[in-house]
């Protein structure tokens, strides 16, 4: 009978210890979340077509910032910034002002640019989170 009580107490202590670990210790050990890093490109001007009328353009003044995770990637962004700017010039000459002005048009532009940057810079979506436009002015 004493053995049953002793084993019962030991079982209760083990269950209590497991509950303490599961409910108190494990939730306190969160995975480290890396902060988002920002790589701002220089302010740039480019043409953006207006409608389907060939030769009709407006001037787009923009500044873009790339949001990414890997600190080591800063050097790659720095060395390839001219290629990124070249891509942006071509991108905005190939879409129209109407595309940007549609509902969610700017969001779609951000997605397309982000996807292209992932390929251009040979990285993945875990690294390049998105792009933002602190300046996006059409004149």
- Here the CATH number for the domain that contains residue 108 is 3.30.479
Q: Say whether pLDDT at 139 is over 80.
A: yes
Indicate the range of 66-70, 107-111, 122-126, 131-135 predicted with least confidence.
122-126
| Number of domains into which the chain is organized | 2
Q: Say whether pLDDT at 113 is over 70.
A: yes
State the pLDDT at residue 1: 67
* 13 and 51 fall within a common domain: no
Q: Say whether pLDDT at 117 is over 70.
A: yes
* 18 and 60 fall within a common domain: no
* 112 and 133 fall within a common domain: yes
Q: What is this structure's pTM? A: 0.71
- Counting other chains too, the contacts that 84-91 makes at CB distance below 8 Å and 24 or more residues apart are 84/41, 84/117, 84/120, 85/41, 85/42, 85/44, 87/116, 87/117, 87/120, 88/41, 88/44, 88/46, 88/62, 88/64, 88/113, 89/44, 89/46, 91/116
Full residue range of the structural domain in which residue 8 is found = 1-30
Whole-number mean pLDDT of the chain? 85
Indicate the range of 19-23, 78-82, 88-92 predicted with least confidence.
19-23
Q: Which of 78, 74, 132 is nearest to 107 (CA)?
A: 132
* 58 and 21 fall within a common domain: no
């Amino acid at each position: 009978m004493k053995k049953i009580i002793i084993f019962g107490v030991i079982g209760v202590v083990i269950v209590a210890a497991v509950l303490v670990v599961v409910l108190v210790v494990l939730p306190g050990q969160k995975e480290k979340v890396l902060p988002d890093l920002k790589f701002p490109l220089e302010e740039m001007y480019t043409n953006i077509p207006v409608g389907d009328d060939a030769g009709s353009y407006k001037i787009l003044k923009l500044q873009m910032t790339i949001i990414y995770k890997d600190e080591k990637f800063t050097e790659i962004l720095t060395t390839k910034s001219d290629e990124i700017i070249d891509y942006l010039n071509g991108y905005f000459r190939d879409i129209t002002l109407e595309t940007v002005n549609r509902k969610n048009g700017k969001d779609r532009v951000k997605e397309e640019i982000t996807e292209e940057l992932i390929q251009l810079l040979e990285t993945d979506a875990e690294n390049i989170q998105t792009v933002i436009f602190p300046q996006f002015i059409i004149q």
